[in-house]
Each structure stands twice: as C-alpha cells, then as structure tokens.
Structure 1
C-alpha cells in the first residue's frame, strides 16, 4: 500500500479536509461565510452524503451523519463514503487529506471511512505503458482523540494484505504459474515475518498427492504445494489454525473445456490461495498471537500433455479413489490432498477457501459467499459475525447426509461431481470426506473477482476473505 496513514492532533487550515458531522448544524463551524452555510444546508436536506466545497486554499468535504443506520450497516455505509472521498481525491489531484471526526467518544466511523478510502485507491496498472496522470493520494491524516498507533498500523496491514491478494488474482497466468506463485509467497513471508516452504513435484509425488498431480498432468509447468507457517512465541493456541487455499493459477476446464467467454476471468481461480497469502501478510505484520498454518496446492488446469480424461480414476493421498467425470471440477481434487495433509497438524480448526463452483455464484451472486462445515454453532456464528463486520457476508448451506448420495460412484469410492442440483453443497460434501477435524469451507466464487466496479471493492480481484478472516482470528486472539 503506497498511501501513508498518519495520526494528527489537529487539522491544518490550508490542507484538504474531510469532516464526519455528528449533527447537520456542525457544518457551520467549517464554513467560511453564509453562502457556504446555506449551500451545505440545502445539500444535506437533499440527502447528499458528501458535500464538497472549494474554499480556494483548500477542498472541504462535509460528510452527513448516518443516524438511520447502526452496527455493521453503518460501518459499510462509511466505507462507501471512503470510496467517494477516494474518487474526489483523484479528481482534485490531492496529495494529502485530513480526515476528522468531532465525535469524541468513538472513532469507529472514522476508521471505516479510512478503510474504504484506502481500499478504493488500489490500482493494478504495471502493464500499462501510459499511467493515470492524476495524482495519487500520498498521506491520509486521521484526527481523533480515540485513535492510537496500533489501530492505524493494523488497518494499514489489513489493507496491505488485501491488496496483495488482489495483486495475485490480477496477475496474468503467463506471469504467475505455480512456481512463480511459490516465489511470490516466499518473498511475502520474508517481508512480513512468516515461513514458507515450497514443495516441488518430486516431493508432491512422494506424498502421493494424486489430486494435485492429476490436475497438473495437462500442463507443461510443474505444480507446487506451499506450506506457510506463522508461529509467534506468544501464540495462545498450541494446535494450529490451518488455512487451505485453492491455487489453480489458470483454469481452462481441462478436457471438459470451458466456453471461451468463461475463460477470460480464469486467472482468478486462485482467489482462495490469494486470500490465504493476504491473511498471513496481515496477521504476521500485525503480530497477532496465533499459530497459523497455510496450505496452498497450486497448478494450472490445461487440456494438453497427458491430461486426465473424464472417466479416469485417481487416488487422493489418503488412498481414497475418485472417478473424475468432469475435469472442470478440479479444485476439489487439489483441495482434497491439502485437507488430508492438514491432518498431520491435529489442527484446532481448518478453513478452506476456494473459487469452487458456479452454483455458489448462481445462488448468491457477488453479495456473499457460501459457507458450510462441521463445526459447532458458536464457531460458525463467530465467523458469520466477522463476515457482517467486514461486509463479506456468509450464507450457511447444509451438509445433509443425503447429498453424499450424489457422489456415489460405480467404480470408485467417490465421483468428483454430483447432479445438477445443489452443486455448491455437493462440492462441499466432497471435501468433507477428507476431514476428521473441525472444518469450515468457504466458496468465494462470486466475491473474489468482479467484472464491474463495486465501490471500494473495485473491479477484478477483490481480496475477498482477507478482511473476513482477519476479523475472525482477531476475535479469537482477544
């Protein structure tokens, strides 16, 4: 993240200023004359959320109160206000901005505005020969007596982790195969303070990871299995929380080839891996006292070479045989090997993230992710609450025993697809067969990549999962 976040004791008279109003009448304290006051009053009566005034020596942005909203809905409202301020900062070519709240007791709204603003300033333009000529905000000053340095640093780290996840998703497949992903993870680990071990193809063979090897069989590039570890001396958990991320760096569908229109965004099929990488970056930089392990199986899925064919039977690393009826249902095959590998840690909890099914997209669109698992109600509710607080909302799908019937194979232990109905659930049920520990599955297919802009989430890679899981693990660390 290139924007510096700093705390300021007071605002500067000649510097751009954004003010969160606690009451509409508070605006008069920032206006220079009666004409400005009348203008602001009229705009607020017209329900304007942000009123801009050019005071010549500075730009002034007055942010309307949000008394009609509360809780996580209010936080999301102010994140979107942050998006509007980011647009204004770009349009006015602001290099700095002071953000002030007259609320003396609580800085929650101020932090939400800052979060939305910082996330909105993300750009992925390294492949453009002509850069945007508008100035990019360099410093954001936050003015509130209720803020401290730790809060500001934490926000910086979470935004940085989210932006790293976005970068990984946005990289073209030609620039980010499984090997290059491993190198990127190693660099991120060195910078943030977590360990990364990249297992190559020979080690993957030795571990008998038949799912990962089968998906990789059509590629000229070797697979990797990436093990991330963050274990601070003050970790409050002896058994790790394990995060598993689907790392299909590009998905053609294999021999079950996707339609050409569906392939244009398939560099995003490693959104789960990106989320794990971004989370580790945020957690390690913020020094949360938690022991985390990350597992990222990585490969592309192509129809070349000795690609697996529909009807083939493969063996996952625990010996389970799988009849592959659709090579485009490949993510669950590589995740199965990772879920088996997770058993060696005797984990406290395993959470996997994957852009797994179109069925999840059809069910929820871009507004939320599907969640399912075998954990107790309290743990699931804690994750859902983290989803509400970050507005990465979750909808729980059931894993009823009857869904497993759709995965019965005539010639193997399982087949890799169910019927036409409940596709997100049968995919989750497939994964469940490889767990013997507390486990949660997140299908982020609808939220990890957006083909049109959505406020501070932007367009293309969103970094979905990073903020959600950081909030969840932060609540566990208290």
Structure 2
C-alpha cells in the first residue's frame, strides 16, 4: 500500500486534521474547537446548521475538515456513507496537496474513523501501470493517514491494512493486461503473494492437469500458445477452528476473446483482461486471511488459461469429458468460464469441504439484471448460510441478490448428444450458467457468485475507482469474520 495507516496518541501542532461529528451536530465539541478562533468556530457552526456534511477550514499552513455522520436506516448504509465521505475527503486533500492527515472520531460510531480511513485508502489506490513519462507517474501527495487516540486501536488498523492489501492485490491482478499476466504468470504472482502473506501455493502444470483429466480447462486452453495452470492456495493456521475447510474457487480466464465464438469489439473483448477477477478475488481473500492470521482453514482453487481461437481451438459442437466424468456439448466457446469452474468444483470434492464458494465474471445476463451495483448469488447451501453471506455483503456494500435454481432451469442446458450443454437459453443466462455448475457439485454445500457487473468498472465510481475493484475480497473476509463470531 502506498498510503500508510497509523495510530497516533495525538495530533501535532499545525497538523491537518479531520474531525468526525455525530449526525445533527450544530456546535463544535471542545475537542474539535480548541485551537480555532471565534470567527472560525462560528463559520463551522453555521455550516453545520446549514446541514453541510463536509466543512473545510483552510489555515494555509494546515487544514481542518469536519465530517458529519449521515443519518441512514441501517448500520451498513451509515458505514457506506462514511466510506464515500472518505472518497470525497480524498478529493479535497489531493486538491490541497495534503501529505498527512490525522483523524479524530468524536461521534458515537466507534468504527467511524476506520470506515473513513477505508474510503480514503481505497480511493488512494493507483495502478502503477507501464507509463514511462515521469510527468504522468507522479507519486500521490497523500502518503499517511493517522487515527488519533480511540479512533482506532493499532490492532484494528493493522487488520484493515491487511484486508486492503488483499483488495489491492486483486485490483492489481485484474488491471494487468494479458501480455503481462498470462496463466503461468498469474499463478506465479499468486504464489509470490502467498510467500509474503503466509499461505502456501501448489501450481499444477499442463501434465498434471492432463493427468487429472480436467477436460473443461484443457479444452478452453487448446487455442492458446501458452499452457494452463491450476493453482491450489491453502491457509491452514495452527488452531484453525474448522475441522473441514472452506474452499474458494475463482475463474482465472486471463483473457477471453470468446474463442471461435468471437466476441465483438469495442466494448466487449477489449476489457476482457478482467475475466480472471474471480481468481484474483480468491487470491486477495487468502492474502487478507493469512496476513491477519484469521483462525480458519481455507483453500483456494484457481484454474487459469486464456481463451483464443487459434491452433486446435475447441469448436461449437465438440463434446468434452470433464474431470467429473460428465460429458458436455459445446454450443458456444464463449461460455468457457463455466467449463473451468466445473472442473475445479469437481476437484473440490476431495477436500470434503464445509462450504464451497465460487466467484466468476461469468455472464452478461448478471450485468443486465443488476448492472454494476450487485453480484448475483445462487446455490445449494442452507438458507442461513446464504443469509449470512448476504448480510456480509450489505455490511461492506458488496451486495448480493439471490436468484433461484429451480428444477425447471435444468431444461435450459439439455443436450441431445451429451449429459448437458454449456449454453442455456437467451433468458436467465446467469441462472442457467449456475444450473450448469450445480451438476458438478457433489456432497457439499455450494454458493455461486456471478461478479461480472461490479468486478470491473469502465468509469470511476467513488472509492471503487476505475478498472478492477477487488470485488469479493471484503465480502468474503467479512463473511469469515461472521463465521468466527457465530
């Protein structure tokens, strides 16, 4: 992280400071007014009475900012308003070229300082990229955010930093183009991150994938000049509280041309470097869990390849034999992600998992249904588990909308010549894709998350920014915290 989060006992004289105030505040608390002139106090009080949510005092040598808690119907919405206030605040700090700021939490919300810092830090994220012009590679001005006194403990700040490092790992992976991050390089980057955080990585190469007869992954890879990989990430700390592991599966299509069923461009193929956002989210989540020493045994599976139309590329009409032994008729080579996931979900059975959650930028249907505001969820897990994951989504504002997996949707993926087809009907495509995956689930509860909408943004949106968002990392981390607290 380029932005340092720290704890401070107090703010030094003439430091730029942020004071978080309770909703409805019209008078400044003494802790926020001590070094202000009477005129400055009067100005801030008048601004608060005018219902301004962010008040700025420019003292030329330093700055004071006053952030007012929003009044919202749920704690999750209050938390999200604070993150978004962090984004707005970052814009002002950047404009004023403030290098370090001290945050005081004078509100009744004990987590307000952390939430504001989270919004600041996520806004401050910048993908380094590959620019060579020094003028366009200026270092960010804001380099340090300190939370003062009881605004946050050092332990909570360290946990937030570990979580954000996982989010930024996922963003970095998604933002990297194919010629900088093919399937082999993705596996290597995931392993390097594991070395830093503390999880282990076992990378299966082409011969091992062939030995496992992963027909879906192998078929999608046929048109590529580069080999596939299958990464197994594992975080198993001493004293893990779960006897059976949680397994996370992430789609790792490092670039998707659509294969022989070629995608159109622009506005489709040109941003398909993001098609491995599910795999990136799995890596980011394992990173955060390991970095923060979360006492749960969690395994990540990331099948990876690009999908190209060259060479011996698989074709519509082909019939594949999957890792599970089921046969699949290929109706469209652009419905490739479910083929990789199916092999990984079948492979997951060997772990006798407590729960399997897969994440994938799987369908345009999910985007049409929910835009970039939420992910689609479906699965066979108990309603209480689905509800817990949904609650985690609302807590971190990575919201989920559950769709049904009724038996009738199985008709959408019937094949005349194989066990099933890899393509459903024109309607409910995100559901038929999940229904396809369900056929490869055996003996464990499962949740599917179609993150195609929020995983990658073509225009900047608050603290989520532009490009890879890291969707899934904060959601799953919060879910696991809820598991521990149950």
Q: 2:90 maps to what in 1?
A: 86
Q: Indicate which of 363, 369, 376 corresponds to 1:363.
A: 369
Q: Distance in 2 between matches of 1:146 and 1:14?
A: 20
Answer whether contact 1:91 1:134 (CA < 8 A) is retained. Answer: no
Q: Distance in 2 between matches of 1:356 and 1:135?
A: 34
Q: 1:410 maps to what in 2?
A: 416
| Alpha-carbon distance change, 376 to 135 in structure 1, aligned in 2, over 3 angstroms | closer
Matched ranges for 1:68-79 at <5 A: 68-79=72-83
Question: Which 5+ residue runs of structure 2 have no aligned equivalent?
Answer: none
Q: 2:66 maps to what in 1?
A: 62
SS of corresponding position for 1:367: coil
Answer whether contact 2:375 2:399 (CA < 8 A) is retained. Answer: yes
Q: Indicate which of 343, 364, 369 corresponds to 1:337.
A: 343
Q: TM-score, normalised by structure 2?
A: 0.96
Q: What is the CA-CA distance between 1:129 and the residue it aligns to?
A: 2.0
Q: 1:462 maps to what in 2?
A: 469
Q: 2:323 maps to what in 1?
A: 317
Aligned-pair Cα RMSD in Å:
1.4
Encode CA deviations 1:192-217: one digit per residue, 9 max, x unaligned.
00000000000000000000000000
Q: What is the CA-CA distance between 1:38 and the residue it aligns to?
A: 3.7
Of 38-47 and 372-381, the range deviating more from structure 2: 38-47
| Moved >6 Å (runs of 4+) | none
Q: What is the CA-CA distance between 1:286 and the residue it aligns to?
A: 0.3
Matched ranges for 1:218-233 at <5 A: 218-233=223-238
Q: 1:197 maps to what in 2?
A: 202
| Alpha-carbon distance change, 194 to 134 in structure 1, aligned in 2, over 3 angstroms | closer
Q: 1:291 maps to what in 2?
A: 297
Q: What is the CA-CA distance between 1:27 and the residue it aligns to?
A: 6.2
SS of corresponding position for 2:2: coil
Match status 1:101 vs 2:105: yes
Q: 1:400 maps to what in 2?
A: 406
Q: What is the CA-CA distance between 1:4 and the residue it aligns to?
A: 1.6
Q: Distance in 2 between matches of 1:69 and 1:44?
A: 21
Answer whether contact 1:24 1:64 (CA < 8 A) is retained. Answer: no
Q: Distance in 1 between matches of 2:72 and 2:385?
A: 30
Q: Distance in 1 between matches of 2:78 and 2:101?
A: 22
Q: Distance in 1 between matches of 2:288 and 2:350?
A: 25
Q: Distance in 1 between matches of 2:438 and 2:464?
A: 31
| Alpha-carbon distance change, 70 to 39 in structure 1, aligned in 2, over 3 angstroms | farther
Encode CA deviations 1:376-426: one digit per residue, 9 max, x unaligned.
111011000000000000000000000001111000000001111110000
Answer whether contact 2:380 2:446 (CA < 8 A) is retained. Answer: yes
Of 5-14 and 438-447, the range deviating more from structure 2: 5-14
Q: What is the CA-CA distance between 1:132 and the residue it aligns to?
A: 4.6
Match status 1:12 vs 2:12: yes
Answer whether contact 1:231 1:291 (CA < 8 A) is retained. Answer: yes
Answer whether contact 1:27 1:37 (CA < 8 A) is retained. Answer: no
Q: What is the CA-CA distance between 1:125 and the residue it aligns to?
A: 2.6
Q: How many residues align?
A: 477
Match status 1:152 vs 2:154: no
Answer whether contact 2:28 2:41 (CA < 8 A) is retained. Answer: no
Match status 1:172 vs 2:177: yes
Q: TM-score, normalised by structure 1?
A: 0.97
Match status 1:271 vs 2:277: yes
Q: What is the CA-CA distance between 1:53 and the residue it aligns to?
A: 1.1
Encode CA deviations 1:240-287: one digit per residue, 9 max, x unaligned.
100000000000000000001111110000000000000011000000
Q: What is the CA-CA distance between 1:190 and the residue it aligns to?
A: 0.5
Q: Distance in 1 between matches of 2:87 and 2:421?
A: 45
Q: What is the CA-CA distance between 1:65 and the residue it aligns to?
A: 3.1
SS of corresponding position for 1:452: strand
Of 159-168 and 52-61, the range deviating more from structure 2: 52-61
Of 296-305 and 105-114, the range deviating more from structure 2: 105-114
Answer whether contact 1:352 1:441 (CA < 8 A) is retained. Answer: yes
Question: Which 5+ residue runs of structure 1 have no aligned equivalent?
Answer: none
SS of corresponding position for 2:362: coil
